[in-house]
Structure 1
């Protein structure tokens, strides 16, 4: 049976904190230590970015002419728009109150994933950026959380994305280690013996969304979730495998 365990009671995270140590303590407090085979620890991007010092002070940002022009078009803070441009490789859409970009990691998302909610004191004049390399960070956390028996959890770094043509956000994986983030079922057969031709499963995204049911999106203060009881398929593919290449973008 699959069980979703929220990790509660974690303190505010600050730059330089030993996140692996804090997560282990939360797992121990929740009675979820030691790690078991096929455990997946889902860690929200927000606490990872905080621990890695990805906080930006808006008072120190000087908007470029391009940022000022985009800010006028989108009715957003020019300083925030400048940070968005620094984190992105392309602007996909800019209309009043909406700025969609292609992040340097390849994700197409609002505001390059920059967030100003639930970031602690002084949030009005600060903004939190995505981790520099969330796949690497996931691998480092997995290694650091290995138990004495050598069993390490798979780790998914989650964020909340909107989706084209649908309202609302869902959890997605922006980093992953210890599991195949994308499972390729092409070539398998369905129950009627028909060959699967296009089926690829975004396993890490599915896990991130399942964890979001427990973590919440507001003031729940649940920054990590342990998913236990999955039968993980073999293999190891990072979350970057989930990003569709630009040349396959059908809507440009």
Structure 2
């Protein structure tokens, strides 16, 4: 139909084989998509990248698959943020915060688990260079994976690796049509591309690669290509470092939280309000002997890993609630608690003005 405006096309790459370690992914894509052109964005699922790179866990015959999966999750985890039953929300070596460390058991043999690529940005760079050599085209590459989303049901694909494209389109400082200056707007372009590509790849169709065509994208110089690193939120910018009821508390002092002077009784009352929301945690709160708003956190039973984690969960949830109400906090683990019941001291400053 003539007269249609120019737009963006999302094209599936059909006819790709089942991949195995050592396979030439770029050669398969080039053969299946001889129509690739300069400026295209090739979006490939992390699973096939992991397969060709050998990022697999093979189970022994008769092995407990769930136990093996939990061991693999632990090996890929640098920090556990939350836990509910067997479900863990963790931070991976790559910096991603994701359920089960991104380890997948779907679309794979029953005796195999698939890990995330070790360095999906490097994988994307290699695939881009190989496609250039084989097909003579200058394309960008996005490696995608399926993530859940905070506070929203449903899954969507996001980028875990990229090359030849600027991951974040930064509009800060620009003026909108009404003359308002944008202060925080940065668009995660590679995430949007990953999600769009999944509309034609799907989870059950066996199409692991798609091509997005017609989108003008910013292309960094090869020596300035940061891949997806700009998408990883740094701790200083993280407003939600703690979870809630199912949180696994950090055991490091919150050095970035500076207490403010305030009324001790009011601060202690605020802490009790926050802790009352979590009665299942066996923690006793008592006033400390030093400073305004110091509250000592004790366990009524012997200090064990479980009771200490539960204490950390309550303290973390209380800190979140206190911050939401404008209180300043600083958590100090008790040094050498040993066999005592003292876990640490929460310093509570006055409400922010």
- Identify the TM-score tier after normalising by the shorter chain: 0.7 to 0.9
> Which residue does the alignment assign to 1:88?
77
Aligned residue runs from structure 1 range 99-118, under 5 A:
99-118=88-107
- CA distance, structure 2, for counterparts of residue 6 and residue 59 of structure 1: 36
In structure 1, the partner of 2:30 is: 24
| Corresponding residue for residue 162 of structure 2 | 176
Structure 2 residues not aligned, in runs of 5+: 1-6, 243-353
Deviates more, 1:41-50 or 1:90-99: 90-99
TM-aligned CA deviation for residue 150 of structure 1: 5.3
Number of equivalenced pairs: 230
**TM-score, with normalisation over the residues of structure 2?**
0.62
- Of residues 231, 241, 251 in structure 1, which corresponds to 2:216? 231
Q: Which residue of 2 aligns with 1:7?
A: 13
- For 1:147 and 1:191, locate their aligned partners in 2 and report how far apart those are by CA, in whole Å: 43
1:194 CA displacement:
1.4
* Conservation of the 8 A alpha-carbon contact between 1:58 and 1:80: no
> Is the CA contact (8 Å cut-off) linking 2:30 and 2:135 kept in structure 1?
no
- TM-score (ref. length: structure 1): 0.86
- Alpha-carbon separation, structure 1, partners of 2:16 and 2:185: 38
Indicate conservation of the 8 Å contact 1:182/1:237, yes or no. no
Q: What CA deviation, in whole Å up to 9, does each residue of 1:45-72 have, x standing for no partner?
A: 0100000001101339x99xxxxxxxxx
Alignment gaps of 5+ in structure 1: 64-75
Q: 1:135-194, CA deviations, whole angstroms, 9 ceiling, x for partnerless residues?
A: 011011111111689541100000010001100111100000001011111111111121
Alpha-carbon distance in 1 for matches of 2:20, 2:134: 28
The 3-state SS of whatever aligns with 2:110 is helix
Residue 222 (structure 1) aligns with: 207
1:198 corresponds, among 184, 199, 203, to 184
Distance in 1, matches of 2:57 and 2:134, equals 38
2:112 paired residue among 126, 133, 158? 126
The reply on whether 1:139 has 2:125 as its aligned counterpart is yes
Determine if contact 2:175/2:181 at 8 Å carries over to the other structure: yes
CA offset at residue 102 of structure 1? 0.5
Distance of 1:195 and 1:112 partners within structure 2: 38
Correspondence for 1:70: none
The structure that has the greater radius of gyration is 2
Runs of 4+ in 1 over 4 A off after TM superposition: 147-150
Structure with more contact order per residue of length (Cα contacts < 8 Å, sep ≥ 6): 1
